[in-house]
Structure 1
Amino acid sequence: MTATDTPTVPHSPIEDAQGIALGVLLCGVGIHILTTVGLITGQTAGVAVILSYLSGWSFGVVFFLINLPFYALAYGKLGLEFTIKSLVSVGLLSLVTDFLPLGFTIEHLHPALGAVIFGATVGMGLLAMFRHKSSLGGLGVVAFWVQEKTGFRAGYVQLMTDAVIFTAAALLFPLSVVGWSLLGALVLNLVITFNHNRKRYIAN
């Protein structure tokens, strides 16, 4: 916070809880749609999706384990509050993605529409979590930290890391899967890029 920033009004614990819960739910729905149509994504979630497809393990388990090394970075660079909230968010998302299919099934969904819905829902979910000083850990922590420290948009950081992940995915999956998946990742990152700017916010 600089001397020219508008004084902030902290969120209450209840406001943080509902914001994080909403973000997790939106992200869980998006991931469920993504995996239902057999697509992939970028960032740490993308790595978890790919590994879950290849190993047969659930996305929730893989996602939780992959995130563990990133908490040290989150604590050292973004503080205890952000780290705890991110740990809670990751744990909740791991549970939501494992249990959501028990009550939410999709009979038919075209991959193109699934990709767009995924990108929009996860993008809005991440915005809700960013707004309440949380994230889904992993490479998102790195992107959020870069934006906070340098002003370079988190969405652009994610686009660059996505490029690496999708290049590797192109060697493992059909190009049609990679193509529709790129559409979903593009929508997601554009939602974040156009809507996440901490200087527009009053509450901290």
Structure 2
Amino acid sequence: MFIAVISALIFGLSMKFFLIPGNIFSAGAPGLAQIINYFTRETALAAIFTTGNLYFILNIPLIILAYLKLGKEFTVMTLIVVLFSSLATNLFPLTYVSQNPLINAVIGGVLTGLGTGITIKYGMSSGGFDILSLYLSKTFGWDVGMMTLLVNSIIIIGSGLLYNLETAIFTLITIFVTSRMIDAIHTGEQRLTAFIVTNDAAAVTASIRTRLIRGSTVIEARGGYTGDKRDLIMVVINRYELHDLQLAVLESDSKAFVNIIQSTKVLGQFLTKEQQKLMKSQPTK
């Protein structure tokens, strides 16, 4: 909950202190909400169709997708992030921090990417196209940031049509900076290898199978200082599974020693998200 609130506050600051005051459009659903708000802000519906409210409305079908494809816990936390983000956007006053559009574009992009990256790192999402991007990343290992950049081409074109070429350029800068920040925090396509030293290999491997749907290798080992027998578990995961792995180890052996390194290359069978889901749906023999 704390992470969700922090992410929402960062999002609200980005929108009301940098992007909206500078007439610069954000990535994804927030940017689309800004475009719709452009057409409604001078009408009788302006009080209803605020950028914050529109952001929440646009997220409804995507949250349904998250519930169907990404799990109940993920969906609940994402819904909390979206709700607080909408509230923050509505409640924060419109503040002109800078009149320099480049500063607004860069800082707005950094803050948006920071908020989004934090939520993804902790198994949540800030909503919008991030849900679709995260689903494709988990399923096929696609690059989250670059997918977001491609999807948001319509936002860049729309900003240019509504204002001018300069606005489109600064919107492009914002979206690019956002995608780079997301990739810096959450590079989900990268593989990690975890080495876990434990006295209860059976419990740890069972927890890993349940939470991650991952196999592992158990190696007999001996402590270099004490000489006591230990089990060394090796498991390869995607970076986005790191949080789940930490929970799996913590709940099965809180005293286990864990060392995690980045894997340069992985050969052989490595399950995709879809394969993991298929295995999870099959009855245990």
Normalised by the length of structure 1, the TM-score is 0.85
Query: CA offsets, 1:120-166, max 9 Å, x none?
Result: 11111111111222212221110011111111111111011011332
1:35 matched to which residue of 2?
20
2:65 matched to which residue of 1?
73
Aligned: 1:93 with 2:93: no
2:157 matched to which residue of 1?
167
Aligned mates of 1:187, 1:172 — CA distance in 2: 22
Give yes or no for contact 2:123–2:243 (8 Å, CA) kept in 1: no
Give yes or no for contact 1:159–1:189 (8 Å, CA) kept in 2: yes
Question: By how many angstroms is 1:167 displaced?
Answer: 2.3
Give yes or no for contact 2:144–2:187 (8 Å, CA) kept in 1: no
Question: Quick one: structure 1 residues 176 and 136, their matched pair in 2 at CA, closer, same or farther if it must change by over 3 Å?
Answer: same
Gaps in structure 2 of 5+ consecutive residues: 42-48, 189-237, 245-285
Aligned mates of 1:171, 1:109 — CA distance in 2: 22
Question: By how many angstroms is 1:111 displaced?
Answer: 0.9
Question: By how many angstroms is 1:194 displaced?
Answer: 2.9
Aligned mates of 2:4, 2:121 — CA distance in 1: 9
Aligned mates of 2:175, 2:105 — CA distance in 1: 8
SS at match of 1:68: helix
Of structures 1 and 2, the larger Rg is shown by 2
Question: By how many angstroms is 1:174 displaced?
Answer: 1.1
Aligned mates of 1:26, 1:44 — CA distance in 2: 16
Question: By how many angstroms is 1:54 displaced?
Answer: 1.8
Aligned: 1:110 with 2:100: yes
Gaps in structure 1 of 5+ consecutive residues: 1-16
Structure that is richer in helix per residue = 1
Aligned mates of 1:147, 1:121 — CA distance in 2: 22
Aligned mates of 2:76, 2:34 — CA distance in 1: 24
Which structure has more RCO (C-alpha within 8 Å, separation ≥ 6)? 1
SS at match of 2:163: coil
Across the two proteins, how many residue pairs are aligned to each other? Answer: 186
Aligned: 1:50 with 2:90: no
1:128 matched to which residue of 2?
118
Query: CA offsets, 1:106-126, max 9 Å, x none?
Result: 254311100000111111111
Structure that is richer in strand per residue = 2
Aligned mates of 2:116, 2:98 — CA distance in 1: 26
Aligned mates of 2:122, 2:66 — CA distance in 1: 15
Give yes or no for contact 1:39–1:177 (8 Å, CA) kept in 2: yes
* Segment of structure 1 superposing worse, 169-178 or 86-95: 169-178
Give yes or no for contact 1:52–1:58 (8 Å, CA) kept in 2: yes
Look up the equivalent residue of 1:30 and give its one-letter code.
Answer: S
Normalised by the length of structure 2, the TM-score is 0.62
Question: Quick one: structure 1 residues 76 and 34, their matched pair in 2 at CA, closer, same or farther if it must change by over 3 Å?
Answer: same
